[in-house]
Structure 1
Amino acid sequence: MKYVVYDFLQVAGGAERVTLALAKALPGFEVVVARVSPAAGPLLLGFGGAVRSLGGALSRRLGGALEAIVCFAFGAGFLSRAQTVVYSGFYAPLAVHRQQAGRRIYYCHTPPRFAFELQSFYRARYPWFLRPLFDVFTAWLRARYVRAVQAMDVVLANSDNVRRRLSVCCGVQAQVLHPPVDVARFGWLADEGYFLSTARLEPLKRVDVLVQAFLQMPHQRLVVCSGGADLAALVALAAGAPNIQFLGWTSDAELADWVGRARATLYVPVDEDFGMSPVESMAAGKPVIGVAEGGLLETVLDGETGVLLSPALGVAAVCAAVESMTAERARAMRAACEARAQLFRSEVFEARIRALVV
């Protein structure tokens, strides 16, 4: 038996897309996850294959991380006779100790940063009385994760940025395999003058900085095409500004349409792992206003396919970049954007993963 094992299909996000892309590239591999959430339904429609969910009515009461840990650390006996397993995510690799033989391959989007270099940041978000429990949990996960990664036969990182993290966190040397992007799904449609953000609405994505910037530019339009835990807070921050629009999660077809009609996209996360959104933007011939750190240094060419701002990001810098991205400048970058995106197309990923796994 051969498996692609991932934490959970939570939303129609990048990691979920890569999980299904792995299965498509590896015929005969069964996809196994802890849970499939309704928000991931559109991905499954396009996938067409079967996905096994380990969780049940009882485990669902535990919630995301705890359910995944229970499923993979204690309920993955089916892996005992596996021939080849491709692991991905934070918690699925914990099942590697159940695999008695065969090849063990890990495709890493990132180590769990909340248990490593960003532990203090996430710890501060909990009430004081829960912080000791958070410390115990992250110490346990950190130790189990390191042992799991070190037990792999092959470790793949989705970017050079993540390769460095794995070296620091786990003491392993990974190979870089950029994730697949369905560049054919995107294309230049028009320039309707608006700027688009597709980053998940979480603190480290810094969409709040974008909202604050567009509050100072009422003549410029921001469209936020995503959801996340910070949605309500960001809507409140925008305070009903007519030039800022929140769409929530959209279908693949709707997303491609919004990207294809934008002037440029905005993507300014803190030390992003890789970031598929900038590549999707470039595939549509749209430049990226990003940040000069993390995975964007591997995708966006500053001055050619977009503008990379200082990691010490501020509202003024975002405003200046947006104002400088005129229709003429965006149009001049179109050809370079489209050519750059081809380096990350799905076919490149599929050929490489088959050569490594099959």
Structure 2
Amino acid sequence: MPHQIQIIHDLFQIKGGGERLVMTLCEGLPADLLTAHIGEHTFDLTQLPGRITDLDALSDIHGIKTWSLARAFRSHQPSHQHPKIIYSGVASPLAITHHRHARNVFYCHTPPRFIYDKRTTFEQAMNPIKRWAFKRLINWFQPQYEQAVRQMDVLLTNSEYVRQRIQGALQLQAQVVYPPCDTNHFKWLSQGDFYLSLARHDSLKRIDAIIRAFLRMPDKQLVVASGGAETEPLKQLAGNAPNIHFTGWLSETQLLKLLGQCLATIYVPLDEDFGMTPVESMSAGKPVIAADHGGLLETMLEGETGYLVSNENLDEQIMAAVQRLSGKHAMAMRSACEARAQAFSHTTFLKKIKEYL
């Protein structure tokens, strides 16, 4: 039998925070799942308690992902009418056309930035033909997206930072429900002597600044986990520095071990909406050196669960924070980190979500 609740999520392509959030909803409510695509490199969804519908609608043509997902959600005729629907993603809200009589709740991770605050940046990186196609996509998609969002009964988002972005882009009021962290999953194992970067290797994560800082601190150990498009440039930047170690992509077990054994984590992305990595770090009792803007200001407690660093002279800021955050200081912050992480537990998240259903 179908559940009373269905989650509609854009796609499962990676092992990301949005995907984890949707899985938590499916397991904790419980709920059925509708998605436009399930890729090979995402989480194993086979253990979820509800029905899973994969529309297999992701286009193979580069650059039209949003169009292909949106068309799939608009055209899909559900075989069962769920009385409660939770939407997650950019294209999924367009499915509301088939759920007029349901209780419709949209968890907006962010308004699509290629339409709103980052549109000019996207356009400037395109040649004239791609720019023409890009503008046509926006002209087709934006009015449908805005109409769908305005039909929602409830609009939720992941941070006060994004709530303000929604208000500016859509002139709508959203309620903040912080994303969930499995606080029982991440555990303090030992007090190591290395600092850990867990961010995906993307230019916005600014791992290059972390590496430059550690090149100037040969007595401090840095482990750079994960991978991504910027892995090779980052390795070239690090050279053969004996104090900087790259692990490549790791299994969940390996990641948990590294996190549980490090001295502290370093996470300095640009313009982060929420940032689950610091919460996971705190859950493992490990303090964080974090960027002092975006959603990170809503999770970190300066001086209690780590230290915040500003964009100005970022390399030097990281160096100063590392020198300040010794093993002794990290141990002293352990209990505050673990306590702070509880504010973002699965239990807290699901309780808040249920208030809006």
Q: TM-score, normalised by structure 1?
A: 0.91
Corresponding residue of 2:45: 44
Seen in structure 2, the aligned counterparts of structure 1 residues 293 and 79 have a Cα distance that, compared at 3 Å, is farther
CA distance in 2, matches of 1:231, 1:46: 32
Question: What secondary structure sits across from 2:105 in the alignment?
Answer: strand
Query: Where do residues 1-358 of structure 1 align in structure 2 (5 Å cutoff)?
Result: 2-27=5-30, 29-41=31-43, 43-44=44-45, 47=48, 49-55=50-56, 59-62=58-61, 64-73=65-74, 75-78=75-78, 81-127=81-127, 129-312=129-312, 314-357=314-357
Residue type at the aligned position of 2:10: D
Shift in Å, 1:241? 3.0
CA distance in 2, matches of 1:242, 1:79: 59
Residue type at the aligned position of 2:19: E
CA distance in 1, matches of 2:313, 2:5: 44
Shift in Å, 1:50? 4.4
Question: Structure 1 unaligned runs (5+)?
Answer: none
Residue type at the aligned position of 1:221: Q
Residue type at the aligned position of 1:22: L
Seen in structure 2, the aligned counterparts of structure 1 residues 127 and 197 have a Cα distance that, compared at 3 Å, is farther
CA distance in 1, matches of 2:234, 2:200: 12
Tell which deviates more after alignment, 344-353 or 232-241. Answer: 232-241
Is contact 1:289-1:306 (8 Å) kept? yes
Is contact 1:188-1:286 (8 Å) kept? yes
Is contact 1:10-1:37 (8 Å) kept? yes
CA distance in 2, matches of 1:46, 1:263: 34
Residue type at the aligned position of 1:17: R
Seen in structure 2, the aligned counterparts of structure 1 residues 214 and 272 have a Cα distance that, compared at 3 Å, is same
CA distance in 2, matches of 1:79, 1:87: 18
CA distance in 2, matches of 1:320, 1:154: 44
Shift in Å, 1:163? 1.0
Output one character per residue of 1:30-61: Cα deviation in whole Å (capped at 9) or x when no partner.
Answer: 111111111113x43664654321015xx442
Residue type at the aligned position of 1:211: I
Output one character per residue of 1:238-265: Cα deviation in whole Å (capped at 9) or x when no partner.
Answer: 2343332333333322221111111111
CA RMSD of aligned residues (A): 2.1
The structure with more helix, counted as a fraction of residues: 1
Is contact 1:115-1:141 (8 Å) kept? no
Seen in structure 2, the aligned counterparts of structure 1 residues 124 and 234 have a Cα distance that, compared at 3 Å, is farther
Residue type at the aligned position of 2:52: V
Output one character per residue of 1:290-334: Cα deviation in whole Å (capped at 9) or x when no partner.
Answer: 011111111000111010111335211112211221111111111
Shift in Å, 1:21? 0.7
Is contact 2:87-2:107 (8 Å) kept? yes
Q: Aligned pairs, how many?
A: 352
CA distance in 1, matches of 2:147, 2:79: 17
Seen in structure 2, the aligned counterparts of structure 1 residues 103 and 168 have a Cα distance that, compared at 3 Å, is same
